[in-house]
Amino acid sequence: MSSTLALASVTAVLKHVLENGLAKAGVTSEIGADTAVSAMSPDRITAGTDEKAQLNLFLYLVTANTSLRPGLGGTARPLALDLHYLLSAYGAQDFQAEILLGHALQLLHGTPVLDRERIRRTISSLSHGTKARVVPPTLAALAASDVADRVERIEITPAFLPGDEMSKLWSAMQAKYRPSAAYRVSAVMIDGGAGA
């Protein structure tokens, strides 16, 4: 078991929620193109005439969760973290990005909490291959994740960034601005020490 996979595990679960939600909503027919969900830095996404209709979920900041303070004592306590994501929409055609972002906002608003069992099921399905599907090494590694055993639930909360903060964020990433929303996901636990 490894809590060091917590950040990747939570990102993979959120990406899965978005992918499945878009598929169930039939978004492909609404925008007239295939859709995708990625989880990478926005500067790595193709923009311009070759831009694909897609959502991107980017973990841009990790902060300490101050509401879960460690107790006193000499033992190493789990590190409680909040994960801050930027959810951006892309599309080469008129309104594709807006339609995708609208669906994503609705999906995350309708899924404000991921409980332990949903996290466990999702990680299991993503990290194990089948006869028809070979799992990439990064997803296969998530099989060792114990993030579902460390939390009862993970909360997904919109984090409304003022325009100047959003502008600074996109400038720092050196990427072309796309319609975006920010989210805070809490709390994720990582072991308190190397020997834990």
| Model confidence pLDDT, tens digit, residues 50-92 | 889 999 999 999 999 988 655 555 556 788 899 999 999 999 8
* Separate counts of helices (H) and strands (E) for the chain: 7, 6
Tell me the CATH number for domain 3-69+78-190. Answer: 3.30.2000.30
- In order, the DSSP letters of 119-143 are HHHHHHHHH--BTTBPPPHHHHHGG
Question: Is the pTM higher than 0.85?
Answer: yes
Check: CB of residue 101 under 8 Å from CB of residue 27: no
Cross-strand bridge partners of residue 158: 183
All structural domains of the chain with their residue ranges: 3-69+78-190
Residue pLDDT, tens place only, 150-187: 888 999 999 988 889 999 999 999 998 899 999 999 98
Burial 51-63 (b: 16+ CB within 10 A, else e): bbbbbbbbbeeee
